[in-house]
Chain A
């Protein structure tokens, strides 16, 4: 049984560029949440998607956007990258309760 799959695992981008991260949820899960984990810190909630709509959003600028597809997979897009966007981005899927986390995408902005 596949858990949460994230791609790519590592990514290096230049400041000002745009990036798309992808997440496939665990089988049977219909909700996807994204978290940003800066080095040495706990994960911070970015937003949550359910039924292809953004249901809840954390304190992140509009440069961060997302999408959920009919098969429940999700994308996280970040525009106009800043050095401070360098972090581990974690995807978590759930159904009503109980989260399963992916291993994350390590984004480095240079």
Chain B
């Protein structure tokens, strides 16, 4: 069975400092992995996706993630946090032939001035 574990439920950073949101996955075969962001009272927006091409994936708004098979990790990073990055972030794995999405529990990112 496939699953994802987000290692931090809350992360707090200062504006302008780096962001690291950690995610480990479990998969019996080469997975497709995603990061989604959810702002309050908004739907889910795709930040980036990994589908077995380059292991370093660049997404929108300056975010990127690195797929590390040996560590079964897919951590999300951003060099410099902005106030508008404050939101809930979900690490997601795609499961099965019909690409059902399995979400992690989420990491709430707070950005302080």
- Cβ of B43 and Cβ of A4 under 8 Å apart? yes
Contact of B103 among A43, A103, A104 (CB under 8 A): A43
Contacts of A55 in B (CB 8 A): 98
Chain B: CB-nearest residue to A56: B98
Contact of B100 among A45, A50, A90 (CB under 8 A): A45
Given contacts A55-B98, A97-B99, whether A43 and B105 have CB atoms under 8 Å apart is no
Chain A: CB-nearest residue to B104: A42
A42 → chain B closest CB, angstroms: 3
B91 → chain A closest CB, angstroms: 9
Given contacts A41-B106, A42-B106, whether A103 and B41 have CB atoms under 8 Å apart is yes
Give the interface size class of chain A. Answer: 20 to 34
**Alpha-carbon gap, A106 to B53, bound state (A):** 37
Within 8 A of B (CB), among A7-59: 33, 35, 40-45, 48, 50, 55-56, 58
Contacts of A101 in B (CB 8 A): 36, 43-45
**Alpha-carbon gap, A56 to B98, bound state (A):** 8
Contact of A99 among B46, B90, B102 (CB under 8 A): B46
Interface residues of B (CB under 8 A from A): 36, 41-46, 90, 96, 98-106
Interface residues of A (CB under 8 A from B): 4, 33, 35, 40-45, 48, 50, 55-56, 58, 90, 92, 94, 97-99, 101-104
